[in-house]
Amino acid sequence: MNQEVESVGPENASSRCGFVAIVGRPNVGKSTLLNALLGRKVSIVSPKPQTTRHRILGILNRDNLQIVFVDTPGLHSNERRAMNRYMNRAARASLADADVNLFVVEALTWTDEDQRVLEYLKNCGRTIVLIVNKVDTIYPKERLLPYMLEMQHKTQFAAIVPLSGLKRDGLEQLPALLAQYLPESPPHFPVEQYTDRSELFRATEIIREKLTWRLNQELPYGITVQIERFEAQEGRLVINAIIWVERAGQKAIVIGQGGERLKEIGRASRLEIKAMFRKPVHLELWVKVKENWSDSEAALRQLGFE
């Protein structure tokens, strides 16, 4: 299903640059795919659907080519709370702004939410490349062919690409394939830049990732992180962060018996932030209650959801 791709390199002097949105329903591996394409961690990942809450740019630079990938929250039908409506707005805006939309689905799976995402994409009128992700979980591989033939009848995809973001299999030709659909343009960002997000944002997301992994079953969505202090001091990074929950009972869950769970979350966060910024980190965490913050547009704005 892959098509022949033209080379974009030193021998082809025209420079191409454009935006490629990575879209799909929750939990199909969009953030894992972005990190694999860049060869570094830009978006946090967890087994929990709707982990990605913001649009995040990941910038891939090649000879005469810059692809600005846009990681988006998973499009979903439940808009009961303000947080769900915010995430869907962020994802839909990315579809309309992109030069190419990478539509990510899970191999051998097609749901009503997949169909709903496809309808959004068709209405946008942009080039759509279908990514059949998680092929590493399929045995035998021959089962993929009928599925991909079925996908061809869904709409006119520019290409259908089977791959595994987790295993980084099948990624090699994707940048060159996408380059064909990007405009001739100089780079939008400096070639050394790989994301639009600040160090403070990335540290915030790391803490939230560690919370999500350790509270996957117990505290689904009513949790977020806000950093109040983020500064270099005597050769180390000093971070003070608040973990916001929605109810008093959730506070006890985050802290854990004798404070052990909060210590574990802090330790894991500190180690990853230290590795990311390559300097010692002093991290202090507090857990506070803000009633029903995820269902308040005003609270979302106060907590950095713009």
> What are the tens digits of pLDDT across the range 274-289?
999 999 999 999 999 9
Both tokens assigned to 303: 């907590």
Are 254 and 139 in the same domain? no
- pLDDT single digits (tens) 293-302: 989 888 888 8
Are 204 and 168 in the same domain? no
Are 251 and 113 in the same domain? no
- pLDDT single digits (tens) 18-43: 999 999 998 999 999 999 999 999 99
E-strand stretches of 138-254 = 159-162, 223-233, 236-245
pLDDT of 3 above 70: no
Both tokens assigned to 302: 């106060």
pLDDT of 123 above 80: yes
- pLDDT single digits (tens) 235-293: 999 999 999 999 988 999 999 999 999 999 999 999 999 999 999 999 999 999 999 89
Are 22 and 122 in the same domain? yes
pLDDT bin (cut points 50, 70, 90) of residue 111 is very high
Output the domain CATH number for residue 239: 3.30.300.20
Q: Which of 149, 179, 209 is the last residue of a domain?
A: 179
Q: Which 8-state DSSP code applies to residue 184?
A: B
The answer to whether 244 touches 223, Cβ cutoff 8 Å, is yes
Are 137 and 217 in the same domain? no
Give residue 118's identity as a one-letter amino acid code: L
Q: Which domain holds residue 100?
A: 16-179
Residue 290 pLDDT: 92
The answer to whether 238 touches 285, Cβ cutoff 8 Å, is no
Are 171 and 66 in the same domain? yes
pLDDT of 66 above 90: yes
Are 155 and 248 in the same domain? no
pLDDT of 6 above 80: no
**pTM value > 0.75:** yes
Residue at 101 is within a domain: yes
Residue at 188 is within a domain: no
